[in-house]
Structure 1
Amino acid sequence: MTTSPLANLSATRELLDEFGLATKHRLGQNFLIDNHVIEHICQLAELDGTERVLEVGPGIGTLTLALVQEAARVVSIEMDATLEPVLDAHAADHDNFRYIMGDALKVSPALIAGAAGGEPEVFVANLPYNVAATIILQYFETMPSLRRAVVMVQKEVADRIAACPGTKAFGAYTVKLSLYGTVTGRFEVPPRCFMPAPHVDSAVVRIDRCRPAEGGDGSSGASLDPRAVGRVVDAAFAQRRKTIRNSMGANGFDKRALDAAFESADIAPTARAETLSVEDFIRLARALESLAGREVDA
């Protein structure tokens, strides 16, 4: 079992005292102090020692020190400058660890690849909860080399990631992420596993990238730009109490084109967005794209 020397209360306190640090609530920092959680994360990540791993929000390096035991190279992105001395010390002790100081949403994939010695293949992180959902989707969109992600997020975000059609948690984000990956594992992490204990419940989810020709449910998405599907999804959920026809019609789509596309895709225009599957949205986007192509040819 992979362990982290920092995944306990006394070691965490000692390191914080050594570097003169205090928890930064403004950045949502809650330090993981339960090694069982670290072990479970590493089990889900299934690292075999050959992978380049990307981490966001390493904090004092609790998860990082476990990952460097399992991966060929670990690159972490941290935005809190006060933590740089800690990460620098870890880098001095571990030849396969590099870090980048900056905003994880602004650091370029090229810079990450340069630090990792190649494009990252696995994303493992205890993410800052306020930007977790955005980071996960952006990384799958912009780093096609990522084969899977194992990420700790707020429980409500995990619910959105894994939601099924027809449920309250199912929304535009669920569909758009499903175009890139599917959830293959999950476990809950209670507040007592952190110092200080947060006021929210957490969960770790594993997301495996779909094959390029698939949507998140295995449906064919070949030659269809996920961004085109994303525009359909955003318009459909923009006014989720309305029918999909009215919501999309009020958000940039011509209703005559919509009616033809609904018929072609075998989707009821009176349906609401949360009742449609990922496959439905892919078919609808393809139908709209096909209709637009015919208009251009005409």
Structure 2
Amino acid sequence: MTTSPLANPTATREMLEAFGLATKHRLGQNFLIDNHVIEHIMALAELTGSERVLEVGPGIGTLTLALVQEAARVTSIEMDAELEPVLSAHAMDHSNFRFIMGDALAVPPAAIAEAGEGEPTLLVANLPYNVAATIILQFFQTMPSLRRAVVMVQKEVADRIAAVPGTKAYGAYTVKLSLYGEVTGRFEVPPRCFMPAPHVDSAVVRIDRVDVSDVEGEGAASADAEAVARVVDAAFAQRRKTIRNSMSSNGFDKDALDAAFEACGIAPTARAEALTTEDFIALAASLTSAPCGE
């Protein structure tokens, strides 16, 4: 199994001290110090040696040093300028590694493709928790080449990603992400696997890309992700209201809604969290004048 030379407390401390980061580091990173977690991430990623991997938030390179062993190319995006010397040292040691300093949400996909000598095919990362959910959805939306993501996130975010209809964690984000990917793996990571130990539980999820047209359900082929997302946002805008009232309060005509609900067999008195992704796709197709019924 692929491991990382930095995934232990001693090596992490030595790396931080070598670059003068032990006492002045200020962004609150929690460094992974458990090689079993690295092994499990790599197993989920299923690298074959041909992939161009994108990593966000590499820190001192703990996961990076495992990825460069198995991927054709690894491109990491790091926001903390103090970590640039560490990443530069890794880049000197590994010819298949490049990094970009900046905000991952602001770096253009073209710049990522240029650094990686091609568009990335996998996202594998211990993501910054405050922007993890946004990064995952935005990257799937803006980088069609991404076919899989294996990402560590806060447990609550993992719950939202993997939620099913009728549960508290199920919401607009769950549905919009499901238009691009489906969860195919997950494992929990306790605080003791990090230094310092965070005050939250973590989880790694694997998301494999799907296409809206691949989602089973009437109208799927004629609905596009943006149209479905508009319907989803309006439906969940006021969760305590019925789907008809929430959507009519957020830009949709009541008569058009009633016709779409009838055509798609959706009760107008239902609430958004009761609808499946297929329901939202069918509803969007009907609202854009595409047939969703027999």
Which amino acid is the alignment partner of residue 64 of structure 2?
T
Match of 2:159 in 1: 159
CA 24–219 in structure 1, closer or farther in 2 if over 3 Å, else same: farther
Match of 2:32 in 1: 32
Contact between 2:41 and 2:150, CA under 8 Å: does it hold in 1? yes
Which amino acid is the alignment partner of residue 39 of structure 2?
E
Partners of 1:126 and 1:219 lie apart in 2 by 37
> Equivalences for 1:126-205 in 2 at 5 Å?
126-205=126-205
Match of 2:15 in 1: 15
Shift of 1:218: 7.3
Partners of 1:24 and 1:202 lie apart in 2 by 25
Partners of 1:222 and 1:28 lie apart in 2 by 45
Which amino acid is the alignment partner of residue 165 of structure 2?
P
CA 36–244 in structure 1, closer or farther in 2 if over 3 Å, else same: same
Following superposition, which runs of at least 4 residues in structure 1 exceed 4 angstroms of deviation? 23-26, 217-220
Match of 1:4 in 2: 4
> Equivalences for 1:43-62 in 2 at 5 Å?
43-62=43-62
Match of 2:207 in 1: 207
Partners of 1:168 and 1:138 lie apart in 2 by 23
Partners of 1:57 and 1:123 lie apart in 2 by 11
SS of the counterpart of 2:266? coil
Match of 1:65 in 2: 65
Contact between 2:58 and 2:77, CA under 8 Å: does it hold in 1? yes
CA 228–97 in structure 1, closer or farther in 2 if over 3 Å, else same: same
Question: What is the TM-score normalised by the length of structure 1?
Answer: 0.95
Which amino acid is the alignment partner of residue 232 of structure 1?
V
Match of 1:221 in 2: 220
CA 229–34 in structure 1, closer or farther in 2 if over 3 Å, else same: same
Shift of 1:27: 3.6
SS of the counterpart of 2:48? coil
Which amino acid is the alignment partner of residue 3 of structure 2?
T
CA 185–25 in structure 1, closer or farther in 2 if over 3 Å, else same: farther
Contact between 1:27 and 1:128, CA under 8 Å: does it hold in 2? no
Contact between 1:122 and 1:149, CA under 8 Å: does it hold in 2? yes
Aligned-residue RMSD, C-alpha = 1.6
Shift of 1:265: 1.0
Which amino acid is the alignment partner of residue 269 of structure 2?
T
Q: Which moved more, 1:2-11 or 1:21-30?
A: 21-30
Structure 2, unpaired ranges of 5+: none
Partners of 2:289 and 2:24 lie apart in 1 by 51
SS of the counterpart of 2:128? coil
1:290 has 2:285 as partner: no
Shift of 1:17: 0.2
Match of 1:102 in 2: 102
Partners of 1:280 and 1:289 lie apart in 2 by 14
Partners of 2:192 and 2:25 lie apart in 1 by 17
Partners of 2:167 and 2:24 lie apart in 1 by 35
Partners of 2:114 and 2:220 lie apart in 1 by 31
Match of 1:83 in 2: 83
Contact between 2:79 and 2:101, CA under 8 Å: does it hold in 1? yes
CA 70–156 in structure 1, closer or farther in 2 if over 3 Å, else same: same
Structure 1, unpaired ranges of 5+: 293-298
Question: What is the TM-score normalised by the length of structure 2?
Answer: 0.96
Partners of 2:71 and 2:219 lie apart in 1 by 33
Partners of 1:228 and 1:14 lie apart in 2 by 51
